[in-house]
Amino acid sequence: MNSATVELKVPSVGESVTEVEIAEWLKNEGDPVRKDESVLVLETDKATVEVPSPVNGRLAKALKKKGDRVQVGEVLGEIEAGEFAAPATQAEEEKKPTAASATKPSEARVMPVPAPPTAEKSTAVKTVPSKSADTRFMTEEVQPAVELAQAPEPEPSAPASSPVESDRAEEVVPMSLLRRKIAERLVAAQHNAALLTTFNEIDMSVVMALRKDNQERFHERYQIKLGFMSFFVKATVEALQEVPRLNAEICGSNIVYRNYHDIAIAIGGGRGLVVPVLRHAGRMSFAEIEQGIADFARRVKENKIKPDELQGGTFTITNGGIYGSLLSTPLVNPPQSGVLGMHAIQERPVAVAGQVVIRPMMYVALTYDHRLVDGREAVQFLRRVKELIESPVRMLIET
């Protein structure tokens, strides 16, 4: 049956993306593939994208290799359309009897090695690889080079390399497009903006109790857990409404104010930090926020986040607390003017109404572009977030 060959091309991965890098081939040449099954992973300067097979068939040829940079529309490989069985494993092949082993089993035996010789015409048995498909070894009678009694003592072998030397190995790995872009943006943020960070701390006891009381009903209704991030997204949107410059950006000699709130959520992936955007977060319910973040996290892990979902945020929230960070100074994601950093919740002694009590506390950090935002406004923003988290009844919860 004749089979057609289908070209596997670099798909369009975003309006501004023209070049991508091959991060990994998921299939080897000859491997069968199903329609819509991922064949390889491409990496842009914003995200990773899996390329699926357009047809059922097998990967006939891979025209590019891992690490190659390719243009949108360029041919990556060829898929031979049709139905192909998966190749047998090596273990399965070894279990199959061959014609030689079936007809001449005696030839496949290994001759026994005789005891060390005692006579002058002693012989030794030399084991050499066999050219037969099934006979692993064959024997050959040879004369010894010297008598065993006159054999010289073996010379001492060269000393093995010291553990210190073997532990000092180095590996040079090229930076991926995504990692290079992250590096460029972080350096640009520090060079092109006047960054300053201010801190505050939040008593998380009330919001923790509220989550515990409503968790079961919330999960039953929306099939997702009520997390802390939805509280902070809601509180951030309200605080941005009071301090609109943190939701704006500098464009030349102008300030661009936005009357919408697209909140970017930093999510750590296997190939680097990505920041997908919750569009119109101010209009979203707690459930919609939690569902959106969970969907982002799942697709980041599966390399299925879309480049368009990483563009256009007006403000960023990052949670270093999930990694155990107690305090940090997050960097602004240009051209945004601010980023809110959440951190680990830790029980600490605090003064409440003249008494020292133990409360679950979280440090929060706001890094902002001082060219646009004054220190007073930064403090006002953090105080508003603190008030809303410590008194979450001000925010409507759909349970």
**Which residues are designated catalytic?**
370, 374
Pairing of strands 315-319, 263-265: parallel
- List of long-range contacts for 236-240, beta carbons under 8 Å, 24+ apart: 236/261, 236/263, 236/315, 236/317, 236/340, 236/385, 237/261, 237/263, 237/281, 237/282, 238/384, 238/388, 238/395, 239/381, 239/382, 239/384, 239/385, 239/388, 240/314, 240/315, 240/381
- Cβ atoms of 202 and 361 within 8 Å: the answer is yes
Q: Hey, how many other C-beta atoms are within 10 angstroms of the C-beta on 359?
A: 16
Q: Is 124 helix (H, G, I), strand (E, B) or coil?
A: strand
- CA distance linking residue 17 with residue 266, whole number of Å: 21
- Cβ atoms of 313 and 236 within 8 Å: the answer is no
- CA distance linking residue 177 with residue 46, whole number of Å: 8
- Cβ atoms of 320 and 341 within 8 Å: the answer is yes
End-to-end Cα, the chain, rounded Å: 60
Q: Closest by alpha carbon to 39, among 60, 14, 18, 13?
A: 60
